[in-house]
Amino acid sequence: MAPRVDALYFFLVGLAVFFSLLIAGLIVFYAVRYKRRGKDDIGVAIHGGLALELTWTIVPLLITMVIFVWGASVFFAMASPPAETMNVYVVGKQWMWKFQHLDGQREINELHVPIGRPVKLIMTSEDVIHDLFFPAFRVKADVLPGRYTTIWFQPTKPGRYQLFCAEYCGTKHSGMIGQVVVMDPTEYQTWLSGGAPEGSLAEGGAKLFASLACNTCHRPDAQGRGPVLEGLFGKTVTLQSGETVAVDEAYVRESILTPSAKIAAGFQPIMPTFQGLVTEEQLLELIEYVKALQNVPQVQTR
């Protein structure tokens, strides 16, 4: 993304420099050219000019439209990650960045990624608003408590790159920094296999699902008191109110913390809240578990 952002940036700077010089130059030129030469010198009255009016309306309009279309195309490219991404969860807290790989690796203030693969970060905060900024990749987004925001980038060169918190978040805001380590795919595989004694996020979620007794109501056989979760992620469900909602990370999160907010049609609002019982990291594990139920056959014994 960096070359595209830079191209637009330098175009804007070039444009500003060009018009600044042009206007400053003309001011000086006209000041000299039309300076008052005698005591009785009086300028000629001017009564407008259609051609001039049209020129200074249409030219800026065309220039701003170029900037708008160009800027929008870069913005949309930044806002829409490719279909196949490597997802990493990010939890910001005062004052550190926690990165969780789907395979289970957990990192603090350091993020390892392989070269050449689009990486999507799904981010939330445990406390206040933070903002994750990767200057080298030209991507940056707010990280908000109670919500998931995403950014994506595709590393192209191995190396270490700075990451910052770019939203004032308290005493040690300036220390809320870290590094992205971009590695060759083979090195990355070696790095991956070096950790994760605790298993993948989805496996952690499966254990939680059982220990929180979610499985007593959410059963795969449609006999439970709660909706069947198998194959649910990514689908659209109808609510009691008749509205529909897409089952995404935000909906799963809300359903765990505020179950009564959006009750699926045909079910009773009997699920207790898990607010305060699960951490942000555990929520992510549960979400990954629900995602992993995608490819599981409808009937299975657990």
Nearer to ligand CUA among residue 85 and residue 149 (C-beta): 149
What does the per-residue mask of binding to ligand CUA show for 144-183, with x meaning CB under 6 A?
A: ---------------------x-xxx---x--x-------
DSSP string spanning the chain? -HHHHHHHHHHHHHHHHHHHHHHHHHHHHHHHHT---STT--PPP----HHHHHHHHHHHHHHHHHHHHHHHHHHHHHHS--SS-EEEEEEEETTEEEEEETTS-EEESEEEEETTS-EEEEEEESSS-EEEEEGGGTEEEEE-BT--EEEEE---S-EEEEEEE-S--STTGGG--EEEEEE-HHHHHHHHHT--TT--HHHHHHHHHHHTTGGGTS-TTS-SSS---TTTTTSEEEBTTS-EEE-SHHHHHHHHHSGGGSPBTT--S-PPP-TTTS-HHHHHHHHHHHHHGGGS-SS---
**Smallest distance from the beta carbon of 254 to ligand CUA, in angstroms?**
24
Residues 13-72 that bind ligand CUA (CB under 6 A): none
Residues 78-97 that bind ligand CUA (CB under 6 A): 92, 95
Nearer to ligand CUA among residue 93 and residue 291 (C-beta): 93
Nearer to ligand CUA among residue 95 and residue 233 (C-beta): 95
Nearer to ligand CUA among residue 57 and residue 162 (C-beta): 162
**Smallest distance from the beta carbon of 170 to ligand CUA, in angstroms?**
7
Report the distance separating Cα 155 and Cα 173, nearest Å: 26
**Smallest distance from the beta carbon of 179 to ligand CUA, in angstroms?**
16
**Smallest distance from the beta carbon of 266 to ligand CUA, in angstroms?**
42
Nearer to ligand CUA among residue 92 and residue 155 (C-beta): 92
Which of 101, 112, 130, 253 lies at the binding interface for ligand CUA (CB under 6 A)? 130
Nearer to ligand CUA among residue 131 and residue 249 (C-beta): 131
Nearer to ligand CUA among residue 109 and residue 282 (C-beta): 109
**Smallest distance from the beta carbon of 122 to ligand CUA, in angstroms?**
17
Cβ neighbours for 234, distance < 8 A, ≥ 6 positions apart: 246, 247, 248, 294
Contacts with ligand CUA: how many residues (CB under 6 A)? Answer: 9
**Smallest distance from the beta carbon of 100 to ligand CUA, in angstroms?**
17
Q: Residues interacting with ligand CUA, by CB under 6 A?
A: 92, 95, 130, 165, 167-169, 173, 176
